[in-house]
Amino acid sequence: MPDPHPRSGLGEPRGPSFFPGRPREHTEPIAPPAPAPSHTTAPQPRPTRPPRTPRPLAAAVLAAVLAGGLAGYAAGALGDDDPVPASAPAASASGDLQAVAARVLPSVVSVQTDRGQGSGFVFDERGRILTNAHVVEGSSRVSVELQDGRRLTAEVIGDDPAHDVAVLEPETSRGLRAADLATGTRPAVGDTVLAIGSPLGLSGTVTSGIVSALDRSVRLGEGSGGGQRRALQTDASINPGNSGGPLVDDEGRVIGINTAIATLDQNRGGSIGIGFAIPVDDAVEAARTIIDGG
């Protein structure tokens, strides 16, 4: 139902008052004309010039300029001696989500196994790929598809079902670019995020949302290896196939691995605006342990 008392969008413009239209005529008295010359030789005073009246056209243009620029006056017409408020926000390229997606997508891959499909991303300079343990469960080798359409075979180096993390090593690292990781930092509730992956097999899918909560206790992984772990909650749309893909901040840094969704119907799972991601610090720690053979 529309609001019966709608409020204006940006409010009324504020600035110096002015009178639109034609300017008021000057009311100053005009000096009397000089007296008629006499036959005396005494010098006569010079006549006083009447004050000039502004031209109506120029004044009308001035009024139009004021009317057109009035809305931005308060922000853009401070005097030279007026300091700019320190709290004035500065433009930032980090808010350009299109550029963020373009920067991260080359690092994201689709993961294909005999049992199904998921997502992953390149996380180190050797081209190794991070994904979920439940995506590659029961597989020793998988197929990964890059954003440029190339398909590579990758070995499953190992997995950690307790953290739902697995590491893949592709047959070549040529053309693979590691994503930036936000290790050592902590996101805040309300931060803008992008979820990138291959939901329902649709590779290169990007959805946006915010960090909804921190340190949610959720069950990660499947089977006896899974357990309650802390996770980031987001309302970015996550669906089957997003598992293992990155959750990135508005600077394109990976803050988590998308791993689980909350559903109302287990038989028809889908996004309801509640998804969970493994914090990147936990995932990288588990990945290092796997690589070191622990």
What positions carry a catalytic annotation?
Answer: 134, 164, 243
221 token code pair: 């992984």
Gap between the Cα atoms of 126 and 178, Å rounded: 8
CA–CA distance, 50 with 44 (Å, rounded to integer): 18
DSSP character for 56? Answer: H
Number of continuous H segments (helices) and E segments (strands) in the chain: 4, 13
Q: With beta carbons less than 8 A apart as the criterion, state whether 94 and 49 touch.
A: no
Interatomic CA distance for residues 237 and 230, integer angstroms:
20
CA distance 260 to 240: 9
What is the CA 275 to chain-centroid distance, rounded? 19
Count the neighbouring beta carbons within 10 Å of the beta carbon of residue 80. Answer: 4
Q: In 3-state terms, the chain is what percent helix, strand and coil (to 5)?
A: 20, 30, 50
In 3-state terms, what secondary structure has residue 107?
helix
Q: How far apart are CA 204 and CA 36, in angstroms?
A: 95
> b/e string for 13-23 if b means 16 or more Cβ within 10 A?
eeeeeeeeeeb
Token pair for 199: 């939901």
